[in-house]
Structure 1
Amino acid sequence: MKYSVVVFPSSKVQEVANSYRKRYDPTYALIPPYIRLKEGFELEEEELPKLVSHLEKVAETTAAFSVRFHRVSTFHPTTNVIYFGIQDKEPFVALHQKIMEYFGSHKENYAYVPHLTIGRDLTDDELKDVVGQLSMAQIDLSTVVDRFHLVYQLEDGAWSVYQTFLLKK
């Protein structure tokens, strides 16, 4: 089964992100807005308890933190993704590194850049137009990160939460 580890921001941030995602993100109906901590991966069911145990330890050793989204950016030309940029990436990078300890020498497809996707799979012309418009928008959103989620993909492509891990207070 395919899994991922994500953070869902506050409902206010999700509301703003979804106002863009419903137009620019074909995965809008499949998963709420999220910040990826570990890209999608295949895992056999018998491995799940070991991963859950690792994620519980990660949560127990990680303090809750605040995050501020401050701009719209893109990964173009690598991919045609538009996202809300995160001002202080370090807490996410540290959390990502702790989670990745479980996977050993496994390399992800892309370098880890914490972000909140608001658009994907746009043509080059659409991307330039949308980024041009959104770069003028004032983005000043914040959320507290006090939990992360192990999610799994259903047969229809939608994602569902398998387990939630609360960060230490």
Structure 2
Amino acid sequence: MKYGIVLFPAKKLQDLANSYRKRYDPHYALIPPHLTLKTPFEASDEEIKAISKELRSVANKLSPIKLEVQKISSFSPVNNVIYLKVEPNDELMELHTELHSGSLTSEPEYSFVPHITIGQKLSDAEMADVLGQLKMQDNHHIELIDRFHLLYQLDNGAWTVYETFILEKGEL
């Protein structure tokens, strides 16, 4: 089965992202707005049990993460993707590193650029037009995220939560 690991922002930021995704993201109906921590990977039922245990251990030793969005950006010209740029910070980078070590070791396809996709698979002309408009808007947002999620993909391509992990370093 295919799995992935993400952060889901709070409702306010999800609503903002969805206001764009409805029009510009063909994956809008498949997954809520999210920040991908680990791209999709295959695992058996036995492997996912061990992975879940390791993810609980990671969550227990890390603190909640400040998620700050300051602007809209894109991966153009490499990919026609528009996103809310999430400012990297030590806690977020540490979580990303932990999710690519131990039994979860893998080489990411791309460098980790924390973001929440709001548009993708746009033509070059549409990309330039939409990005130009969105960059003029103020989209500053800050929140604290205290959990990450292991998702699995359904047969119809949609993603759903398999398990949620609370970031609780130092809490009892």
| Fold equivalence (TM over 0.5) | yes
| 1:110 match: secondary structure | coil
| 1:18 match: secondary structure | helix
* Structure-1 residue corresponding to 2:165: 165
Residue segments in structure 1 that go unaligned for 5+ positions in a row? none
Post-superposition offset of 1:149: 0.2
**Structure 1 counterpart of 2:54, which letter?**
H
Q: Which runs of 4 or more aligned residues in structure 1 lie more than 2 Å from their structure 2 counterparts after TM superposition?
A: 87-91
Task: Give a deviation string over 1:12-33, Cα, whole Å, max 9, x none.
Answer: 0000000000000000011100
Task: Give a deviation string over 1:35-89, Cα, whole Å, max 9, x none.
Answer: 0100011111110111001100110011012211110000111211100011244
* Structure-1 residue corresponding to 2:31: 31
User: So what's the TM-score if we normalise by structure 2?
Assistant: 0.94
* Structure-2 residue corresponding to 1:44: 44
Is contact 1:30-1:157 (8 Å) kept?
A: yes
Aligned-residue identity in percent:
44
Is contact 1:13-1:142 (8 Å) kept?
A: no
Is contact 1:89-1:114 (8 Å) kept?
A: no
| 1:100 match: secondary structure | coil
Aligned-residue Cα RMSD (Å) equals: 1.0
* Number of residues of Structure 1 aligned to a counterpart in Structure 2: 168
* Structure-1 residue corresponding to 2:8: 8
User: So what's the TM-score if we normalise by structure 1?
Assistant: 0.96
* Cα distance in 2 for residues equivalent to 1:145 and 1:5: 14
User: Is structure 2 residue 91 aligned with structure 1 residue 91?
Assistant: yes
